[in-house]
Chain A
Amino acid sequence: MVLKSRMTRRTFAAGALAAAAAPAVIKSANAADSVEIKYMLWDSNQQPAYQACADTFTKANPNIKITIQQLGWDDYWTAIQTGMVSGDLADVFTNHLAKYPELASKSQLVDIQPMVDHDKVPTNIYTGQLADLWSRDGKRYGLPKDWDTISVVYNADMLTAAGVDPKVFDEWKWNPKDGGDLAQLVAKLTLDESGKNGLDPAFNKSKVKQYGLAMGLGDPYGQTGWSLFAASTGWRFMDKPWGTKYNLDDQRLIDTMTQLSSMSLEKGWMAPEDQVTSLKTESMFTAGKTALVFHGSWMINWFGDNTKFKFGFGRLPTGPEARICMFNGLADSIWTGTKHKDEAWAWVKYLASPEAQDIVGTYGVVFPAIPAADQKAKAAWAKKGEDVASYLDQAQQKDGTFLFPIADHASEYTSIMTAAMQSIALGKSSPKDALTKANKDVNKLF
């Protein structure tokens, strides 16, 4: 659910272009034999950018034709699965961290490490540890194409009406005890039907017209919500990538969930979970039902296209230990069933190359994995009127991100944690009870 719209797609590296921006030519028994490589992605916003990459790639490799197939997130993973079973899947597809471990364990993804070694493709050119996310036990299942971070999105009109300067986001704090500046600001931005804000003693929490904040508390990974607060206390999902033990019953996570859920259940400042579940935070924001939401960089264009009022992106609040959020990235993977492994690799290598990532950057749809291309993306967004510095700053800040908790049994984890987090968000069980039980159930899987 949460993962759904998260990632942007990035390109793969085609070996040829990578090193010198001079496209490499794929060896083919007969140059006249044209090979079609099918490439799947889920974000329709990114399709034009990748079509542009495909055109450039085919110009350099006339014998390889790229056909792009786009499917929405839900259909996408069903199609991947049925395609693997029926033996008719795209040669290359955009992959997600929550999905690839399972596919790799079922031998559906080509280990590209030998090709990376053979072609001497640099894996250290990408932001942070993006490349490492796609590697396990010496095998590699993708080259990074993009990354994402989280920012606060604010309704500028509501801020003005409450007399709040957006500059507060540069230096605001949160703590799990009383919610700090965040709780105060959220309260101030919440209005009941008679216009009293959440700090007013006469505030009527059962007649709220405008919430200060909407957050999907019931989400299993809390990528755009609870995880960034919990991590700001020093908490982590697990102690290392590919871990086998989650820390879900940690007191810091329990305290975080207690504070966050109290803002909706007790105070009435944060939108109730049932509304968030049906509408999603972004629609509540564009509908003017909430002044603030936390959302990911993959949504920048969505907000630009769907928001009818003045809005902006701001930095995250600083917690007791850090100002931090989850760092996630997509990669392109090659299916083991492909009949054209060399050509598929060429395309993957190209998409991860500086040339392709620059092309994607100029479209301003996603932050490419290579830092230089990010500047192109930032400039492209600036042209559309969006200041995306908060996302970029978060990614570049030292210790500003923690990695998506990559591990086996992601689908079981999702199911257990969705129920646990929903029961907390709806006030059906206490954070301590729900998380203790969930931790036991999840760790039993390993």
Chain B
Amino acid sequence: MSTQAVAVTPRAARVRPDWMRGWRRRETLVAWLFILPSLIGFTVFYLVPAIRGLYISFTDWDLLSTPTFVGADNYRNLLQDGDFRHSLWVTLYYVLLNIPLQTMLGLIIAVVFDRFVHGSGWRSLLLLPWLMPNVIVALLFLWLLDPGLGIFNVFLDAIGLPKQSFFGSVGQAMPTIAGVNIWRFVGYTALLILAGMQRIPKDVYEAGAIDGASETRMFFNITLPLLKPVLTFVLVTSVVGSFQIFDTIAVTTKGGPVDATRVINWFIYQQAFERFKFGYATAASLILFVILVIVSLVQMRLLNANESDLA
């Protein structure tokens, strides 16, 4: 039976040549072939787990026994969970510490490189922190900033300033983590912005220069407006990434001290892997997902991402 089916198909194809041979059709087929590998990946690793996640979020499940359906209980409990709300605020605080400074510094570095520093050697230096694995970066700073043995405190002490506890202090922990991640990502951000700047035609600047515009004026009236699509991309991706901060915290503070760095992802991790409440944790993940979709849409709308003055 199966041999028959195999034999039949090619013959049918041969009978209808335009159907298979039309170049449009073939191009579409090739396109699908190219998309296929990532489509399989997307389906297996994202789509199916996401749909399954949606189901899990309506259950009480400890990973080892069969899930029991509990309706919207998880969501209802989450909304009343003070720890969950606290983790949302803590995450927002981190994003506010992280993104504005990181983007601004990235922009400044990009301008400096675009206008004054040339040569790819210097540019690759920008990427060095980004090439290091997050965990290594976190460990590195954990030791550098250690209140007892860290070299940074030795410097502070040497110039007469009091030692700081950084990761160990309720007030300093989050700014310290934000600082570490700014250090790691600012070069990458700068490089993306730099690439955007180099798309801007040089004659625009020449025209500006002939008209007697200063560097500052050209930055605000030429560079910034023409950079909008790239800036939008940088902001959307870095804000989404920032909301999902996890690794630095897992390595350094583990949500402490006194829950000062218990961001939403750490909350989710604790619920799932320390308390075996997978349904509850998945519901929290889905809330995070919804928040991120809204944040991204608002950002794109505010920045009119689809419009570029260059087009």
Contacts and interface: CB of A to CB of B under 8 A. Distances in A.
Interface of A: 78, 81, 84-85, 102, 106-108, 206, 218, 271-275, 277-279, 284, 287, 289, 411-412, 414-415, 418-419, 422-423, 426, 428
A270 B42 CA distance: 54
A287 B258 CA distance: 27
Contact of A422 (B142, B256, B270, B273): B256
5 contacts: A106-B276, A108-B64, A274-B257, A422-B258, A423-B258
A241 B142 CA distance: 39
Contact of A419 (B63, B165, B259): B259
Contacts of B187: none
**Which size class do B's interface residues fall under?**
20 to 34
Contact of B276 (A78, A102, A206, A279): A102
Given A275-B147, A419-B259, A422-B258, A85 B167 contact: no
B60 interface: no
A278 B170 contact: no
A279 B149 contact: yes
Given A412-B275, A419-B256, A422-B256, A273 B149 contact: no
Given A422-B256, A422-B257, A426-B170, A275 B148 contact: yes
B contact face: mostly helix, strand, loop, or mixed: loop
Select the residue from B162, B165, B270 with max chain A CB neighbours within 10 A.
Answer: B165
Given A275-B168, A418-B256, A419-B259, A206 B62 contact: no
Given A106-B64, A108-B64, A287-B148, A274 B169 contact: yes
B32 to A, nearest CB: 34
Interface in B236-271: 256-259, 270
Q: Which of A218, A273, A414, A415 has the most CB atoms of chain B within a 10 A radius of its CB? A: A415
The A interface is mostly helix, strand or loop, or mixed, namely helix
Contact of B63 (A81, A218, A274, A428): A81
B64 A273 contact: no
Contacts of A275: 146-148, 165, 168
Contacts of B275: 411-412
Contacts of B203: none
Given A419-B259, A422-B256, A426-B169, A84 B64 contact: yes
Nearest to B270: A415
B149 A218 contact: no
A389 B13 CA distance: 88
Contacts of B147: 272, 274-275, 278
Contacts of A414: 274
A85 B62 CA distance: 10
Interface string B43-76: 0000000000000000000111100000000000
A419 B148 contact: no
Q: Which 5 A-B pairs have the closest CB atoms?
A: A274-B168, A274-B165, A275-B148, A423-B258, A106-B64
Nearest to A274: B168
Given A275-B165, A278-B146, A278-B147, A78 B63 contact: no
Contacts of A272: 147, 165
A273 B169 CA distance: 9
Given A274-B167, A278-B142, A278-B147, 15 more contacts: A81-B63, A85-B63, A106-B62, A206-B162, A272-B147, A272-B165, A275-B146, A277-B168, A278-B168, A279-B149, A289-B148, A419-B259, A422-B256, A422-B258, A426-B170
A279 B273 contact: no
A426 B168 CA distance: 9
Nearest to A78: B273
A218 B162 CA distance: 23
Given A218-B257, A422-B257, A278 B64 contact: no
A341 to B, nearest CB: 19
A412 to B, nearest CB: 6
Interface in B104-152: 142, 146-149
Contacts of B62: 106
Nearest to A409: B275
Contacts of A289: 148
B8 to A, nearest CB: 42
